[in-house]
Amino acid sequence: MSPITLILIAIGLGLAGWLIGRAKAWSFQKADPEARPASRPIYHAWYVAIWVVIPVLVFITLWSFAAPQLITQSVLASPAAADLPTFGFERQAWLSEARAVAIGLAPGVFNEGAEALIEPFREAISFYNWIGFAVTIVIAVGGGIFAFLRIRPDFGARTKVERTVMIVLLLASLVAILTTFGIFASLVFETVRFFGMVSPVDFLFGTFWGPDPMSNPENPDGSRYGAIPLFWGTIFIGAIIAMIVAIPLGLMSAIYLTQYANPTLRAWVKPALEILAGVPTVVYGYFAALTIAPMIRDAAVAVGVTNASTESALAAGVVMGVMIIPFVSSMADDSIAAVPSAMRDGSYAMGATKSETISRVLFPAALPGIVAGIMLAVSRAIGETMIVVMAASTAANLSANPLDRMTTVTVQIVKMLTGEGSFDHPATLSAFALGFVLFLVTLALNFAALRVVKRFREAYE
Amino acid sequence: MTRIHDTIQAASTALMKARDVSVFYGEKKAIDEVSIDISPDYVTAFIGPSGCGKSTFLRCFNRMNDTIPIAKVTGAIELEGENVLGDTMDVVQLRARVGMVFQKPNPFPKSIYENIAYGPKIHGLAEKKADLDAIVEKSLTRAGLWEEVKDRLDDSGTALSGGQQQRLCIARAIAVDPEVILMDEPASALDPIATAKIEELIDELSGRYAIVIVTHSMQQAARVSQRTAFFHLGKMVEYGPTSDIFTNPIEERTKDYITGRYG
Amino acid sequence: MNNMADISRPTRTPQFEARLAKRYRAERNFKLMGQGAIVFSVAVLIFLLGNMLMNGIGGFQRAELAVPFNFAESGLTGDEVSLTAPSAVQTLEMQGMAEVVHFFAEEALGTEGADQLSDQAWRDVAAALTSDPALLSQTEPVLFNLPASSDLASGLAGEGSPEMQALASKLASEGKLAENWDWGFLSRSDATSPQAVGIWGALKGSILTMIITLVLAFPIGILAALYLEEYAPKNRWTDLIEVSINNLAAVPSIIFGLLGLAVFLAVFPNLRSAPLIGGMTLALMTMPVIVISGRNAIKAVPPSIRDGALAVGASPVQVVFHHVLPLALPGMLTGTIIGMARALGETAPLLLIGMRAFVATPPTDFMSPATVLPVQIFLWSDEIDRGFVERTSAAIVILLLFLLLMNSVAIYLRNKFEKTW
């Protein structure tokens, strides 16, 4: 009996409780039509429903953690488990297979030893299913009865219900804080563990990156964890090459669309730019790897540069820049539109051409907003993963040549975490340290951008 | 039919001559066949109740109505034999010759120096820094602002008081040495002291520049102008020497407006 | 232009006129740059989409060999009951179905051709038999278009070894090998050969994951938006919540993957590739977006509505839920759909939490190993076999179509319900 079934049962019981509660409240009204009850019947109904459903939901959440453990424990306690391998991959395999057959997902097992575990699993699953069901019913009915008994004409059901609603709303909002805290805590925790194995100095200032996930975790070689090439690659691809593409194109698009284009053109091009922003990064990555990177390599070879890589920083950077164009364009659009039209009129009245007005008056006036937009764009670019995973390299190169291979922070995070490494190995933990640095940098950029925009707004108010 | 006072002669020094100018906003006619001469010999005031179109007509002289897509201007405005409203007129040059000061001071978010230097820079009027410095000083002096800001030319233009900002805008307009200066209610956003300073300035500037001022204050028109045109519902109702308009208006509508029947 | 040069007026000199010409040239160039920027951006978009479409068309087709299969002579046994049981395919496998298919293929195509039949091809015949057991008694041969091996498919496309290309053109000219529309692509799951892959496994995984994401992110997001806009007092806690949400909206998606790895998988270690975990991770990522767009939708409802409701004696909760929420709902839905569209295309966080399983059968529920469409695209992109290029592009086309659909619905909602108060 899956949690979903239990939840549905709970909802069904809640509905029943709702109807019963309302019926009782109606009976008060019939008995004494003149008196005004403290709350309308519908709130009594909701009161009962809340007392039925919420305790059950709490139970179901806890049960879905506990039940699988209890089931496995009871199977392990049964005599058939004596033959089970004591640890490792095989043990897990036998257990999973037996469970799969017991549930009916698989017709048979590959490991014969698992055969014996099927029956114990069936029994345990059935047993605990009934227990879960029974407890659900008991809690639901218990809660319902408790609430039902409290219904009286003078009972302030509405206040209680509304207070519950407020608490639910507050809890929903706290999820955001919880998530931020969760991110911070998990990153810090693992990073601290990492710095216990590799010194922060080696990490932040070392220039060689070549972790070996298979090496002995007891004696990590700090010199292999120098993240400078990663930081450099990230900046070179995301903050330099991508921005060289995105800033001019984004700015000029925004300027043309706001100052020169007629409404029809605007109506077609703005959605097109939004589409550019909406294309999933995995598609960009594939496009970069499949089409752009070979094009760049062929062009480079044709010009005489023979050692250009097919995983060049240029390929990844250019495609990333194209992806970022809409961000820059829309921020620039908003900033330029926010410049008071009195500035524009003043400049035209002086006899300035459109381009002079834009470049000498509008653009400088909109500069803070545009700068903020660029910072946000950089933040987006350095946090980008798929384009670089698919088009850039995993080779940690410290080079200034855009046709060379290079890797970034995000690529290494993926690489370190999608291998065979164990969770205690410094190579795996380094991913968290990298993630923490990335988190801090993007946070800093976002804060700075916000401050710039705030100061900008003050200048006009 | 505009009532033109007999004392008005066709000024031989007329710099700009508007003839039968009409302005349409889409289908709506905002200005109906207005004709008038502008000369540096006298300050011209446009008065009338709000919405009568005086600002709209003013903006025809430097073709600022071009920035409004639905606006259409017909008729002719001659500037030394060339029709300002025609296709062969270069708008950029026109606006360098016909300057404008707006109702709400609009200095650029740049330094005082750069505000004044804007016009000369884009029009290429000064090749050397020394020349530019001279223009800036001359303009600020003519606008009566030099003494107050000469030590802080690098301060932002927006950091000045309202009255100073408006004088800055006037200095900015003067910096390109225009022939005509259009002023659209230049003092309406200012306090009385600043207003007085502006009016003083207008007096000093007239003669070198042909000044046209739109104002909703009749007293102001009486103080600063020598000729006044009264507008009502898009038509120029009456035009004559300022003193005559205010003491001896001929048209009923003019009389009603002057005496405060409506406003 | 005016010919009278009046030196006393600097704006009427010949130098001025010359400079004017230069300025207009600069103006023209500037405008051209703007047009160029737009043309370039739109061109890249068209290039990208066109590229995917062109490559993807081939992905909806596959090379198939025509094999007439005579059931009556096949020597296979079974009846209504055994052939519709869940283990029917395995039973047939144990009866040697693969060899039987190979036998008939040899008859039709010759040894060389039969060798180039995909090694999973017999499953197509098995599937037909289990869905229609009456076929077993058919005495007339039934024609099956079975997938060729990926080598032969490459040969048909003009790539690969010369022998394959020769064999392919020979079989093709005999009408035994053809590129057919492969609608099975939409119903199969992952496989090792590009001839046998399909996207349904990944698509179903995406759908299951999206359901979890929606069920978690939408209520939490909307309720949080309501709280922040309508009830939250102006204190430091509220500021903290707001700052958290704005930050979360700007955090790179890969960080959420790290969070999912560190927290969710620590709690549910055996659910590594499950849609439940993926959905929870994406929900955390999507929730701030829903909150922000929800707040904007709520802000757009004018205060007069609230004042009116309060004036008739509604409680604060009633005001919000009976009056504000219904009016803000279209805007909230638009923002939610856009947020979900973003989540649909996300790859990096799901890679980290392990949703990169090789999923040969579609996931059965929220806890079974699954993958999602963008991850499937990523995994296929790594494959060496050229045949995967077309399949990957076809999968991209499907993904883009879904996104187009979702965004169109969002835009439609926005336009239909956008009220100016």
Instruction: Please tell me if residue A272 touches chain B, with a CB cutoff of 8 Å.
Output: no
Chains that touch B (3 or more CB pairs under 8 A): A, C
- Measure the CA angle with vertex C180, ends C179 and C186; round to 5°: 125
Whole-angstrom distance, CA of residue B189 vs CA of residue A420 = 74
C153 confidence band (pLDDT: 50, 70, 90): confident
Asked if A318 and C48 count as a contact pair (C-beta separation under 8 A), the reply is no
Query: Is pLDDT above 80 for B231?
Result: yes
Residue pLDDT, tens place only, C160-183: 888 888 888 888 888 888 888 888
| Residue C209 in tokens | 């994951």
The residue among B160, B44, B40, B183 whose CA lies nearest residue B101 is B183
Q: Which residue has the higher pLDDT, C44 or A53?
A: C44
Q: How far is CA B195 from CA B162, B220, C327, in A?
A: 10, 9, 50
Q: Which residues pair with B3 in a beta bridge?
A: B238
Strands B227-232 and C177-181: unpaired
- Measure the CA angle with vertex A250, ends A249 and A256; round to 5°: 85
Contacting C residues, span 17-46, partner chain B, CB-CB under 8 Å = 17, 19-20, 23-24
Contacting C residues, span 286-325, partner chain A, CB-CB under 8 Å = 287-288, 291, 315-317, 321
Q: What's the gap in Å between the CA of A183 and the closest CA on chain C?
A: 6
Domain annotation for chain A: domains and CATH numbers = 3-155 (no CATH), 222-456 (1.10.3720.10)
B5 confidence band (pLDDT: 50, 70, 90): confident
Total beta-carbon pairs less than 8 A apart between chain B and chain C: 38
Total beta-carbon pairs less than 8 A apart between chain A and chain C: 241
Whole-angstrom distance, CA of residue A268 vs CA of residue A65 = 52
What's the burial of C110, exposed, middle or buried (CB within 10 Å: 0-12/13-18/19+)? middle
A284 confidence band (pLDDT: 50, 70, 90): very high
Query: Is B122–A350 a contact, with Cβ atoms under 8 angstroms apart?
Result: yes
Query: Is pLDDT above 50 for C1?
Result: no
According to the model, what pLDDT value does residue A37 have?
66
Residues 6+ apart with CB under 8 A from B40: B13, B15, B179, B206, B207, B208, B209, B210
Whole-angstrom distance, CA of residue A144 vs CA of residue A369 = 57
Strands B28-38 and B16-25: antiparallel
According to the model, what pLDDT value does residue C4 have?
41
C341 contacts in chain A (CB < 8 Å)? 278
Instruction: Please tell me if residue A310 touches chain C, with a CB cutoff of 8 Å.
Output: no
Q: What is the DSSP letter of B106?
A: -
Mean pLDDT estimate for chain C: 86
Range in A18-27, A231-240, C50-59 the model is least confident about: A18-27
Asked if C225 and C332 count as a contact pair (C-beta separation under 8 A), the reply is yes
Asked if A411 and A385 count as a contact pair (C-beta separation under 8 A), the reply is yes
Sheet holding B210-214, edge to edge: B3-4, B235-241, B227-232, B44-47, B210-214, B180-184, B98-101
Helix, strand, or coil here: B41? coil
Mean pLDDT over residues C218-235, rounded?
89
Instruction: Please tell me if residue A321 touches chain C, with a CB cutoff of 8 Å.
Output: no
User: Which chain B residue has the Cα nearest residue A263?
Assistant: B69
The crossing angle, in degrees rounded to 10, of helices C236-250 and A426-460 is: 110
CATH number at residue B236: 3.40.50.300
Query: Is C254–A260 a contact, with Cβ atoms under 8 angstroms apart?
Result: no
Enter the ipTM. 0.92
Chains that touch C (3 or more CB pairs under 8 A): A, B
Query: Is A350–B110 a contact, with Cβ atoms under 8 angstroms apart?
Result: no
Whole-angstrom distance, CA of residue A300 vs CA of residue B95 = 51
Predicted TM-score (pTM) of this structure = 0.86
The residue among C340, C303, C337 whose CA lies nearest residue C319 is C303
Q: Which of B61, B64, B92 is the best residue to mutate to test the A interface, defined by the most A CB atoms within 10 Å of its own CB?
A: B92
| Residue A317 in tokens | 């950077």
The residue among A367, A369, A434, A368 whose CA lies nearest residue A195 is A434
According to the model, what pLDDT value does residue B10 have?
66
Q: Which residue has the higher pLDDT, C222 or C137?
A: C222
According to the model, what pLDDT value does residue B31 have?
93
Q: What is the DSSP letter of B122?
A: H
User: What single-letter amino acid sits at A391?
Assistant: A
Query: Is A350–B104 a contact, with Cβ atoms under 8 angstroms apart?
Result: no
Asked if A260 and A337 count as a contact pair (C-beta separation under 8 A), the reply is no
Chain B positions with Cβ closer than 8 Å to C: 80-82, 88, 90, 92-93, 96-97, 122-125, 176-179
User: What single-letter amino acid sits at C321?
Assistant: F
Q: Which residue has the tokens 């801090």?
A: A440
Whole-angstrom distance, CA of residue C8 vs CA of residue C18 = 18
Number of domains chain B contains: 1
A48 confidence band (pLDDT: 50, 70, 90): confident
Helical ranges in B88-158 per DSSP H = 91-97, 112-123, 129-142, 146-149
B91 contacts in chain A (CB < 8 Å)? 351
Query: Which residues form the domain of B122?
Result: 13-258
Q: What's the gap in Å between the CA of B122 and the closest CA on chain A?
A: 7
Mean pLDDT estimate for chain B: 91
Q: Which of C2, C6, C15, C20 is the best residue to mutate to test the B interface, defined by the most B CB atoms within 10 Å of its own CB?
A: C2
Q: Which phi and psi (to 5°) does residue A410 adopt?
A: -65, -40
C15 contacts in chain B (CB < 8 Å)? 124
Residue pLDDT, tens place only, C105-149: 888 888 888 888 888 888 888 888 888 888 887 788 888 888 888
Q: How far is CA A368 from CA A374, A378, B112, C86, C280, in A?
A: 10, 15, 20, 66, 37
A408 confidence band (pLDDT: 50, 70, 90): very high
B118 contacts in chain A (CB < 8 Å)? 347, 350, 352, 360-361
Residue pLDDT, tens place only, B52-89: 889 999 999 999 999 888 999 999 999 988 899 988 88
C2 confidence band (pLDDT: 50, 70, 90): very low
According to the model, what pLDDT value does residue B139 have?
93
Contacting B residues, span 191-230, partner chain A, CB-CB under 8 Å = none
Asked if C67 and C142 count as a contact pair (C-beta separation under 8 A), the reply is no
Q: What is the DSSP letter of B157?
A: G
Whole-angstrom distance, CA of residue B187 vs CA of residue B194 = 8
Q: Give the count of beta carbons closer than 10 Å to the beta carbon of residue B235.
A: 19
Residue by residue, DSSP assigns B192-228 as: HHHHHHHHHHHHHHBTTBEEEEE-S-HHHHHHH-SEE
Q: What is the DSSP letter of B156?
A: B
What is the share, in percent, of chain A residues with pLDDT greater than 70?
92
Q: Which phi and psi (to 5°) does residue A199 adopt?
A: -70, 145
Whole-angstrom distance, CA of residue C364 vs CA of residue B5 = 96
Q: Give residue limits of the domains in chain C.
A: 2-57, 61-181, 200-417
Asked if A317 and A245 count as a contact pair (C-beta separation under 8 A), the reply is yes
Query: Is pLDDT above 90 for A64?
Result: no
Query: What SS3 string covers chain A?
Result: CCHHHHHHHHHHHHHHHHHHHHHHHHHHHHHCCCCCCCCCHHHHHHHHHHHHHHHHHHHHHHHHHHHHHHHHHHHHHCHHHHHCCCCHHHHHHHHHHHHHHHHCCCCCCCCHHHHHHHHHHHHHHHHHHHHHHHHHHHHHHHHHHHHHHHCCCCCCHHHHHHHHHHHHHHHHHHHHHHHHHHHHHHHHHHHHHHHHHCCHHHHHHCCCECCCCCCCCCCCCHHHECCHHHHHHHHHHHHHHHHHHHHHHHHHHHHHHHHHCCHHHHHHHHHHHHHHHHCCHHHHHHHHHHHHHHHHHHHHHHHCCCCCCCCEHHHHHHHHHHHHHHHHHHHHHHHHHHCCHHHHHHHHHCCCCHHHHHHHHHHHHHHHHHHHHHHHHHHHHHCCCHHHHHHCCCCCCCCCCCCCECCCHHHHHHHHHCCCCCCCCHHHHHHHHHHHHHHHHHHHHHHHHHHHHHHHHHHHC
Query: Is B102–A361 a contact, with Cβ atoms under 8 angstroms apart?
Result: no
Q: Which of C11, C13, C20, C30 is the best residue to mutate to test the B interface, defined by the most B CB atoms within 10 Å of its own CB?
A: C11
| Residue A368 in tokens | 């803070």
Strands B227-232 and B44-47: parallel
Range in A297-311, C222-236, C290-304, C374-388 the model is least confident about: A297-311
Inside any domain, residue B211: yes
The crossing angle, in degrees rounded to 10, of helices C200-226 and C325-344 is: 140
Residues 6+ apart with CB under 8 A from A132: A1, A6, A63, A67
Query: Is pLDDT above 60 for A25?
Result: yes
A412 confidence band (pLDDT: 50, 70, 90): very high
Residue pLDDT, tens place only, B147-161: 999 899 999 999 999
Inside any domain, residue B4: no
According to the model, what pLDDT value does residue A135 have?
87
Instruction: Please tell me if residue C137 touches chain B, with a CB cutoff of 8 Å.
Output: no
User: Which chain C residue has the Cα nearest residue B177?
Assistant: C9
When computed from its CA atoms, the radius of gyration of chain B, rounded to whole angstroms, is: 18
According to the model, what pLDDT value does residue C5 have?
40
Inside any domain, residue B91: yes
The residue among B166, B149, B103 whose CA lies nearest residue B136 is B149
Domain made up of C200-417: CATH architecture? Orthogonal Bundle (1.10)
According to the model, what pLDDT value does residue A286 have?
94
Whole-angstrom distance, CA of residue C10 vs CA of residue B176 = 7
Mean pLDDT over residues C388-403, rounded?
93
Mean pLDDT over residues B204-230, rounded?
92
Query: Is pLDDT above 90 for C48?
Result: yes
The residue among C231, B168, C290, C176 whose CA lies nearest residue A163 is C231
Q: Which residue has the higher pLDDT, A133 or B108?
A: B108
User: What single-letter amino acid sits at B14?
Assistant: A
Helix, strand, or coil here: B161? coil
Q: Which residue has the tokens 């001071």?
A: B105
Q: Give the count of beta carbons closer than 10 Å to the beta carbon of residue A187.
A: 23
Contacting C residues, span 341-400, partner chain A, CB-CB under 8 Å = 341-342, 344-348, 351-352, 356, 364-365, 368, 374-375, 377-378, 381, 389, 392-393, 396, 399-400
The residue among C178, C198, C173 whose CA lies nearest residue C188 is C198
Query: Is pLDDT above 80 for C418?
Result: no
What is the share, in percent, of chain A residues with pLDDT greater than 90?
35
Q: Which phi and psi (to 5°) does residue C369 adopt?
A: -60, 135
Whole-angstrom distance, CA of residue B108 vs CA of residue C190 = 63
Mean pLDDT over residues A395-407, rounded?
87
